[in-house]
Amino acid sequence: MKKTSLLAARSIFSVFLSLMFWSLLLGGNARAQTPVYQRTIHRSVAEVQTFLQTLRPEASGRLPTLEGFVQQHDQPLEHFDRGYFECMFQAVPAVGGGTMVQATAKITAWYTDPMPARSGYRVLASNGRLENDFLDRIEEALIPTGKSPSATAQKLASVAPDAATPSGPSASPDALDSPDRPNPAAIGPRESSSLDSSLPGAAPVALRLAATPAMALPAGESIESARARRETDEKQAAELTAYVKNMEEIQRNQSRPTDLVAVKNPKAPIFAKPLADSQILFTAVTQDEFQLLGVEGTWAHVQISGPARGWIRRSQLEMPAGYAPPAGSADAGPSGRAAIFRVSKEETSSFNGAWEPLKGKMVRIDWVEPVTPSSPSSAKEKLAFAKSVFLHGYENLNAAHQSTEGIVIVFDSADGGQIASAMSSVKGLAEGTVSETAFWRQCSLDPPESFQGSAKP
């Protein structure tokens, strides 16, 4: 008998331990649940989705600052810059009518680590400010004109959807705030499902009690304290919205530096030296901005951060507005004059000349003609323009990954002439490993007298 009682006690104790374990586990999961930023909008899904389409251009972009937009991070925020956000929305039918709109914001920023190898873009957790701001805008845009969200919420917070609710002109504020009315916690935490019958003639609205994820009122909290808390939260949300708009205005009014270049292409490599086979420091993304320190041929020297420097191909950059290449560069006209030549035609075909390095090989041929047929040109000007054509041709072929053995320039003019170069020589000129004098020596100038005076060292 004693043994049976002992076994029964042990079974009861085991069941008790199991219940305690599962209670703690489920409770822990509930506490760790990520907040959901959502609103119920009393409009059809089609109407809401149509409005969401208009928000797309504004649902992503640069952040003026990370502070106030992200949760506490294990790394100091001052180590992050170039913050970027993207807000995504989902609209689905809501239980009881209307549309449930959920907002999710993804925030990324460049993290500068004391060890450069650990630097890179990181994803930061949003604190809900962006999501709630967009949800406020969606809610306010879809509420009928003349219906203030806060004023409507104050009335609906004290009204329960039952038949005994006073309705019509005789209903007084005292009746609405009567102690006999049900506790507003029964209405719902942040949103109202169907309270249209409580206000005659009112179009459906969404009830917003706070700008934070929904929570039911604690037991015993009075209507007055709930209203005061709601008004405080709404005031804070309005202040945050005003702060964001103020920062955006400041950012728009700031004068943009004239020495910034922006990356045009995704995954643009930043090199340690202006050489294609040098070390790649990191890969930039579209719209990354850097300070321009100088230009050498097809390369741009940029400041990465602090004392860090790097090189990137100019074809992958948007140069500053009003940028003028320095005199003598590949982009500048000879002696600062307006261009007197232009490329009239480009083609890729087999080289039929007698020059042995390119004979019978595939080359790019650029046909050049004077802008004004009667305009005179010197051999120096022809070589200067030919140099720019060689450099741009190499840059374009390299970016397009086209395989050619060389570049040939044909001057289609009275004093004509043809210059041919192997691709290895053009590469050396572009990357600075071959001087201009040595480059012309490696080219075929036909006839030589058309380019005399500048072709000699």
Q: Do both 406 and 432 map to the same domain?
A: yes
Q: Are residues 211 and 306 in the same domain?
A: no
Structure token pair of residue 63: 């952040």
- Is 8 a domain residue? no
pLDDT at residue 366, rounded to an integer = 92
User: What pLDDT score does 19 carry?
Assistant: 59
Q: What is the pLDDT of residue 89?
A: 93
Assess whether 88 and 203 both reside in one domain: yes
For residue 232, the model assigns a pLDDT of 87
**Overall number of domains in the chain:** 3
Specify whether 189 is located in the same domain as 92.
Answer: yes
Walk along the chain (457 residues) in steps of 10 and give the mean pLDDT of each run: 55 60 51 70 89 88 87 84 90 88 92 85 90 89 58 36 40 42 42 39 40 52 79 86 79 65 87 86 88 83 83 85 53 49 87 91 90 76 89 81 89 85 92 89 90 54
- Both 102 and 193 in one domain: the answer is yes
Answer yes or no: do 189 and 268 share one domain. no
- Residue 250 belongs to a domain: no
Co-location of 293 and 350 in the same domain: no
The verdict on 404 and 349 lying in the same domain is: yes
For position 457, what pLDDT does the model report? Answer: 37
Whether residue 438 sits in one domain with residue 389: yes
Instruction: Look at residue 234 in the predicted model and tell me its pLDDT.
Output: 87
Taking the C-alpha atoms of residue 191 and residue 226, their distance in angstroms, rounded to an integer, is 15
Quick one: 414 and 355 in the same domain? Answer: yes
Report CA torsion sign: 151, 157, 163, 169: negative
pLDDT of 182 reads: 44
Question: Which of 193, 220, 244 finishes a domain?
Answer: 244
Within a domain: residue 175? no
For residue 346, the tally of other CB atoms under 10 A from its CB is 12
Q: Classify burial at 21, counting beta carbons within 10 Å of its beta carbon; exposed 0-12, middle 13-18, buried 19 or more.
A: exposed
SS3 content of the chain, % helix, strand, coil (to 5): 35, 25, 40
Range of the domain at 55: 37-162+183-244
Question: What CATH number is attached to the domain comprising 275?
Answer: 2.30.30.40
User: Which of these three, 244, 268, 289, is where a domain ends?
Assistant: 244
Question: At a CB cut-off of 8 Å and minimum separation 6, what does 238 contact?
Answer: none
Structure tokens at 41: 């909008």
Position 457 in a domain: no
Predicted TM-score of the model (pTM): 0.33
15 in a structural domain: no
Long-range pairs, 265-271, Cβ under 8 A, ≥24: 265/316, 268/312, 268/313, 268/316, 269/312, 270/302, 270/304, 270/310, 270/311, 270/312, 271/310, 271/311, 271/312
Residue 390 burial (CB count, 10 A): 24
Q: In this predicted structure, what is the pLDDT of residue 11?
A: 60
Give the residue from 319, 268, 364, 123 showing the smallest Cα distance to 329.
Answer: 319
Asked whether residue 128 is assigned to any structural domain, the reply reads yes
**pLDDT, position 405:** 93
Whether 122 is covered by a domain: the verdict is: yes
Q: Are residues 271 and 237 in the same domain?
A: no
Q: What's the CA gap between 107 and 122, in Å, rounded? A: 8
Residue 428 domain flag:
yes
**What pLDDT shows up at residue 143?**
72
What is the structure's pLDDT at 418? Answer: 93
Are residues 264 and 367 part of one domain?
no
Query: Which of residues 196, 218, 244 is at a domain's end?
Result: 244
